[in-house]
Amino acid sequence: MLDQYGRRIRDLRVSVTDRCNLRCVYCMPADGISFRPAAELMQDDELVSLIRIGAEVGVEKVRLTGGEPTVRANLVDIVREIAAMPGIRDVSMTTNAVLLGRLAEPLARAGLRRVNVSLDTLDPTQFARITRGGRLQDVLDGLAAAERAGLRPIKLNAVVVRNFNDHAVVDLAALSIDHDWDVRFIEMMPFGTVGDFAEAGVINSEETMARIEAALGPLAPVDLSGEDPARTYRLPNAKGKVGFISPVSEPFCAKCGRLRLTMDGKLRLCLLRDDEEDLLTPLRRGESYEQVKERFRAAAFRRPFGHALAKRLYPHQRVMIQIGG
């Protein structure tokens, strides 16, 4: 499946819920968000149908996200159905890992291949401040369970926030020395009601990289091709890698092959623009499977090029927890 700019679309990120057991400062405004009524969210069969349509038009990789995907009921069954779909060769999940202690094993058995774990600091107090009350030990236990369950490769994602965890990047990067993990640093993006906060606190990848190199030595390039949104490097004698994802300072639109399905059944054509195609309403209205598939294909073709962060404009309709990162 190609879009109007000839970019091949293979990845679908599916948000399975807008609920979460943490409340990260860059993802949710301080006074919370109003969750969508359950009736507006995709039911299990609707979610599976829309992903199946995606697989039939060319999606090969599905990543589950949210909100926190592990708080969705029946997640293991959903994963089993997706993993069995013809055409799908990779099912992964982005998670805060808090519930992986008990879910890693059943998810792996159901066909989940790998996880990206969000972890912004190794300091328990700082962790509680960024997540507004989370317990670091839960995440560390979840990570250990993911390793035991064979969910590989493990990638860690840290959003770097000035005056929160800007110095924690050194300890996080150092994890890649003894572990075969990809530790990736993400520039904070502005969305909706956290837009001003994100614009004020963003730290670009260049600054993060300089801080890591000053403390841990030179980062040798591993993959700067842009095929993956992360540019990856290796610290001296490290088993794992360090990566930088720079949507603010170096947009990677030219190689982007990704679509998103929001928890309320809308195909979002770019993370950083508000263009969406509602698929759930037509499905519920009784449109045929073939008609909904045509909507999917047509929307995917329309995928825009370029986002507007450089012009200091950002999406306003949803914050990250409502989109699915």
Residues forming the site for ligand SAM (CB under 6 A): 20, 26-27, 65-66, 68, 94-96, 118, 157, 159, 186, 188-189, 191, 198, 320-321, 325
Which partner in ligand SF4, ligand SAM, none is near 186 (CB below 5 to 8 A by kind)? Answer: ligand SAM
| Calculated CA dihedral for residues 196, 199, 200, 201, nearest 10 degrees | 120
Cβ-proximal residue to ligand SAM, closest one: 325
User: By CB under 6 A, what part of segment 67-86 binds ligand SF4?
Assistant: 67-68
Sole binder of ligand SF4 in the list 54, 66, 240, 247 (CB under 6 A): 66
Task: Report, in Å, the least distance between residue 131 CB and ligand SAM.
Answer: 9
Helix/strand/coil (H/E/C) assignment for every residue in the chain: CECCCCCECCEEEEECCCCCCCCCCCCCCCCCCCCCCHHHCCCHHHHHHHHHHHHHHCCCEEEEECCCHHHCCCHHHHHHHHHCCCCCCEEEEEECCCCHHHHHHHHHHHCCCEEEEECCCCCHHHHHHHCCCCCHHHHHHHHHHHHHCCCCCCEEEEEEECCCCCCCHHHHHHHHHHCCCEEEEEECCCCHHHHHHHHHHECCHHHHHHHHHHHHCCCEEEECCCCCCEEEEECCCCCCEEEEECCCCCCCHHHCCEEEECCCCEEECCCCCCCEEECHHHHHHCCCHHHHHHHHHHHHHCCCCCCCHHHCCCCCCCCHHHHCC
Which partner in ligand SAM, ligand SF4, none is near 198 (CB below 5 to 8 A by kind)? Answer: ligand SAM
User: By CB under 6 A, what part of segment 108-127 binds ligand SF4?
Assistant: 118
Which partner in ligand SAM, ligand SF4, none is near 216 (CB below 5 to 8 A by kind)? Answer: none
Sole binder of ligand SF4 in the list 28, 88, 100, 209 (CB under 6 A): 28
Task: Report, in Å, the least distance between residue 27 CB and ligand SF4.
Answer: 3
- In angstroms, rounded to a whole number, what is the distance separating the alpha carbons of residues 168 and 244? 15
Residue 164 C-beta-side C-alpha neighbours within 13 Å: 24
Sole binder of ligand SF4 in the list 1, 24, 238, 271 (CB under 6 A): 24
Q: Using the minimum distance from each CB to ligand SAM, give the nearer residue, 96 or 176.
A: 96
Q: Is 23 in the site for ligand SF4 (CB under 6 A)?
A: yes
- In angstroms, rounded to a whole number, what is the distance separating the alpha carbons of residues 89 and 185? 26
- In angstroms, rounded to a whole number, what is the distance separating the alpha carbons of residues 18 and 7? 29
Q: Which stretch binds ligand SF4 (CB under 6 A): 23-31, 72-80, 100-108, 167-175?
A: 23-31
Task: Report, in Å, the least distance between residue 239 CB and ligand SAM.
Answer: 22
Count other Cβ atoms within 10 Å, centred on residue 236: 10
Q: Is 36 in the site for ligand SF4 (CB under 6 A)?
A: no
Q: Is 324 in the site for ligand SF4 (CB under 6 A)?
A: no
Which partner in ligand SF4, ligand SAM, none is near 157 (CB below 5 to 8 A by kind)? Answer: ligand SAM
Which partner in ligand SF4, ligand SAM, none is near 165 (CB below 5 to 8 A by kind)? Answer: none
Q: Which stretch binds ligand SF4 (CB under 6 A): 65-73, 85-93, 238-246, 261-269?
A: 65-73
Q: Which stretch binds ligand SF4 (CB under 6 A): 61-69, 109-117, 227-235, 254-262?
A: 61-69
Q: Which residues bind ligand SF4 (CB under 6 A)?
A: 20, 22-24, 27-28, 66-68, 96, 118, 320-321
